[in-house]
Amino acid sequence: MVDKILEVSLLYDFYGQLLTSKQQDVLQLYYYHDLSLGEISEQLSVSRQAVYDNIKRAEKLLKGYEEKLKLVEKFLFTKRNIECILESIRFVESKVDDKDKELLDKIDLIKEIASNVLDV
């Protein structure tokens, strides 16, 4: 269940704005606020079945967007590669003489740029 929550959350972060406001509301209440179908149906004054259908339809749309656009896949690929770059930089940094200020400054700059890309 946690994997599904993470998957839908990531898809929502990338494609949520492409959903209707009602679909956005339902997904936020269900996945981010952890409300039950019954609680959501009460809050939105619709049936539990309508909430369930809305969630399933929105999840299907999010997955369809990812199948076509691959933004999440590209993001995760980039993230893994930058993490490898940072790991390699830390290794190189451990081997550099502390007296080589210019090289250490360049290493710090590379680490900062790579970290900034991850934070975006």
pLDDT at position 91: 94
pLDDT at position 120: 62
DSSP class per residue in the chain: -HHHHHHHHHHHHHHGGGS-HHHHHHHIIIIIS---HHHHHHHHTS-HHHHHHHHHHHHHHHHHHHHHH-HHHHHHHHHHHHHHHHHHHHHHHHHS-TT-HHHHHHHHHHHHHHHHHHH-
What does the pLDDT look like over 9-61, one tens digit per residue?
999 999 999 999 999 999 999 999 999 999 999 999 999 999 999 999 999 99
Share of the chain above pLDDT 70, in %: 98
Average pLDDT over the chain reads 94
What does the pLDDT look like over 56-81, one tens digit per residue?
999 999 999 999 999 999 999 999 99
Q: What is the pTM of this model?
A: 0.81
